[in-house]
Amino acid sequence: MKAKFEGKEIDIKKIGILTGGGDCAGHNAVMFGFLRQMNKANQSLPANDKMELWGLFEGWKSLTKDQDQVPVDQIMQQLHRADLEDSFKEAGTIIKSSRTNLFSKANLEKKLPELAMANMKKLGLDCLVVLGGDDTLGAAGKLGKQFTFPMFGAPKTMDNDVWGTERTYGFNSAIEESVHFLENITTTARSHNRCFVVELMGRHAGWVTLYAGIAAGAEVVILPEEVVNLDEVFGRVKKAMEAQKFCIVVVSEGTRLFDTKYPAELNKRHQELLDAVLADPKHALVKARHEMPKKKDSFGNEQLGGIGEYFYALLQKHLPEYEYRLQVCGHAIRGGNAHMEDRILGLRFGDAIFDFMKQGKFGVYPGLEADNIVPKNLLEVKGERFIPQDHQLYKMRNAIDFY
């Protein structure tokens, strides 16, 4: 197929597609949405102009391999309708993923962007479609600009925190799975007069925790966007336990006990409460976690997880009259089937990317605005689309406040 790129007409025949970062529901749907459009277009093209879609294994890592040492079939495979007509209904990604940062300081010194570009040329790719969050899409924008190469993106993340779109694919399925988990936990909490602390994924944007917590009727919902006050949390838990003998506390993994934006006296109070926990041999595991160095991924993001343990221990220590349990959903809410909205949104994004290509709109990713798909600049993509404090659901989040 011929298209306009940088003022010139180019032939697009061999299209690469990769998925980067964490897996989520909707990846396969985007690929299928694009493939459907491509196959339809091929029906009216001469044999020599027909297009092929090739899936690159393990995200950006595929383009950093030595092609003299690694066979091409271990780097990519051609995708056909049979590969995706059923798998688009599933979460995850059939072409695998990785967290590979081409533009980290170490990888810039190794000249990995140059290697990635050289490998794309060796593979005969005319265009690349990149599915991922803001880190993965940002790398696509940089690479496309640096080497004047046709690029597209698609915004995924269960966290729903990519700027330029009102919703990312992966979000709805994560909510649905989280609600199912919370409802099951509520059955046990009610049966045994317990308070459950449930930690949900959500880096620095608490959209999953907010939606799932409200939909499941959780008594206490704790978000990264709020100024956490432990005494207020204790008060809500006590109110719930006294009123109904059970309580569900949902906390997003990016929630912080301490922050420079918190008032100094609040940080001091939290330190006092935490010190009491750390001094108690009963909570040796929490102390060990607290003293561990914080790990970071290749993009410099701190690897989160564990805040649920802190809240569990703090409640046990400072509100000991109740029985507590801790549950961490972890990666489970990313898997299983892709729920309806993520299937549809993924298909729409893939469909729209092909339209952008036909129209010569390169260097963009599809964003959802008022149920319309619009092109967004890959060079402007960023994360940290936080919950505003004037959001209606933000004010509704703690169910116990209304009892």
List, by residue number, the catalytic residues: 159
3-class DSSP assignment, residue 196: strand
Question: Cα separation of 371 and 365, whole Å?
Answer: 15
Contact 340, 171 (CB under 8 A): no
Radius of gyration for the chain, computed over Cα atoms and rounded to the nearest angstrom:
23
Question: Cα separation of 246 and 180, whole Å?
Answer: 18
Question: Cα separation of 300 and 5, whole Å?
Answer: 33
Alpha-carbon dihedral 13, 71, 34, 38, rounded to 10 degrees: 30
Is the Cα torsion angle 210, 216, 222, 226 positive or negative in sign?
positive
Listed residue (289, 357, 276) closest to 315, CA to CA = 276
Question: Cα separation of 353 and 110, whole Å?
Answer: 32
The encoded tokens of residue 99 equal: 């967290």
Listed residue (312, 327, 321, 320) closest to 200, CA to CA = 327
Tokens 């051609």 locate to 78
The encoded tokens of residue 304 equal: 């989160």
**Vertex 324: Cα angle to 323 and 327 (nearest 5):** 155
Amino acid at 35: L
Question: Cα separation of 52 and 39, whole Å?
Answer: 9
Tokens 């549950």 locate to 327
Dump strand ranges (E) for 168-230.
194-200, 220-222
CB atoms inside a 10 Å sphere around CB 331: 11
Q: How far is CA 8 from the centre of its chain?
A: 36
Listed residue (57, 65, 154, 133) closest to 98, CA to CA = 57
The encoded tokens of residue 65 equal: 């391999």
